[in-house]
Structure 1
Amino acid sequence: MTTLLIQSSARTVGSTSRDLSALLAERLGAPVVTRDVSAGLPMVSADWIAANVTEADARTDAQKAELAQSDELIAEVEAADTLVIAVPLYNFSIPASLKSWIDQIARARRTFRYTENGPEGLLKGKRAFLVVTSGGVPVDAPVDFATPYLRHVLSFIGITDVTVIGADRQMANPDAVDAARAQIEALTRSQAA
């Protein structure tokens, strides 16, 4: 059992999403691999797309190099049983660095495929926790574009067991972080039982 912890907050110190997601990952009890995407990842480019649509055995060395980081990121997800994703809401959505991570791991023929019945996720049998934090936006409110988006993307690649832990509206609710810690405690206590 392995937990992959994805950190995306631009704040490396004093970040609620970092602190809560690290607490959850530790409490789950499995070895933790951390991927901090906050410094940014390469954006999908025309060369990346061309490499991705080329059959693997026909890729040039340059195309293989173009997809090398994507391959590494996908391998981390494939090796994990559980994903813990720290999601600070920035302007009603996810940080750009987290979107770049998604673009690198959501790859046709690697993590999903199209069939005559529609798309099929290829990363089945995993679970994910979204640790969503915000200053003023309630989780799952009509203006929270992050939480439903991440649920959809994870389902699209085959991860349908998704739990949301929210520490939202922190500017208006001083108990939000304590409530999230209590949710983590209850969740990890019930899993240990």
Structure 2
Amino acid sequence: MSVLLVTSSPRGAASHSTRIATEFAHKLVAAYPAATLVVRDLVANPLPHIDTDYATGIYTPAEARTKRQAEVVGVSDAVLDELFAADTVILATGFINFNISSTLKSWVDHVARSGKTFAYGENGPKGLVTGKKVYIVLASGGIYSEGAAVQMDHAIPYLRSVLGFIGMTDVEVVRIEGVGMGPDAVTAALAKATAKVDALVASSVHTAIAA
């Protein structure tokens, strides 16, 4: 197994999404003796937001790109290489203004590339990133998985849509909810998320053995 862990919270060591996702990745790796782990920290090493050089460079033949175009497309190519090499992808983000972090959005913008991760044919668009298991670890101050606030969750619907568009449809979500509701709520949310992570790791191992 090859695991790609992508973290994006600006809260550093205080980040619940980074903590749970990192523990998740290490538990998966520990469960598979030959597993490898690649970590992309989008806060320590943020990807450039797409700009004119990127938007034109990805459609310009490599030999004709300017130096700047080559640099930004090269960054995108490196991110794509990591994605294609992974069997399992863990995306971690905080819930920021009802959506994902801007750093994770930049990652999405770099991996969603026509001709690379999706293509258009006679039957419409087709995702080219297939055969991968994806886990989304989302931390939020409130409860958005149920109740009146469900409609305000634009993070999970967006990620499911864009990941599915490029071919990644096997997606599981680990929520760390209610962390803005006091210390007891934080403890309960972390315990619930950890229990789900442990169950997902056990399920992964069981599936691998059965296969």
- Matched with 1:32 is 37
TM-score under structure 1 length normalisation: 0.93
- What CA deviation, in whole Å up to 9, does each residue of 1:9-56 have, x standing for no partner? 0011121101100111111123210000124321111121111122x4
TM-score under structure 2 length normalisation: 0.86
More displaced 10-residue stretch of structure 1: 133-142 or 117-126: 133-142
Aligned: 1:66 with 2:75: no
How far apart are residue 64 of structure 1 and its match?
A: 2.5
Aligned: 1:181 with 2:194: yes
Partner amino acid for 1:149? Y
Aligned ranges 1:13-28 → 2 under 5 Å: 13-28=13-28
1:171 to 176, 180, 205: 180
More displaced 10-residue stretch of structure 1: 79-88 or 33-42: 33-42
- Matched with 2:166 is 157
Partner amino acid for 2:20? L
Aligned: 1:43 with 2:49: yes
Contact 1:165–1:183 (Cα < 8 Å) also in 2: yes
Secondary structure at the aligned position of 2:19 is classed as: helix
Secondary structure at the aligned position of 1:67 is classed as: helix
After superposition, the CA RMSD in angstroms is: 1.5
Task: Give the share of equivalent positions with the same residue, in percent.
Answer: 39
What are the ranges of 5 or more consecutive residues in structure 1 without an aligned counterpart?
none
Contact 1:129–1:165 (Cα < 8 Å) also in 2: yes
Q: What is the distance in 2 between the residues matched to 1:142 and 1:158?
A: 25
Contact 1:5–1:22 (Cα < 8 Å) also in 2: yes
Q: What is the distance in 2 between the residues matched to 1:169 and 1:147?
A: 16
Higher fraction of helix: 2
1:52 to 51, 58, 64: 58
What are the ranges of 5 or more consecutive residues in structure 2 without an aligned counterpart?
30-34, 207-211
- What CA deviation, in whole Å up to 9, does each residue of 1:45-99 have, x standing for no partner? 1121111122x45532533223010000010001101100002101111111111
- Matched with 1:114 is 120
Secondary structure at the aligned position of 2:4 is classed as: strand
Q: What is the distance in 1 between the residues matched to 2:54 and 2:124?
A: 24
Q: What is the distance in 2 between the residues matched to 1:48 and 1:86?
A: 25
The total of aligned residue pairs comes to 192
Q: What is the distance in 1 between the residues matched to 2:79 and 2:141?
A: 30
Secondary structure at the aligned position of 2:125 is classed as: strand
Partner amino acid for 1:148? P
Q: What is the distance in 2 between the residues matched to 1:58 and 1:120?
A: 28
Aligned: 1:132 with 2:141: no
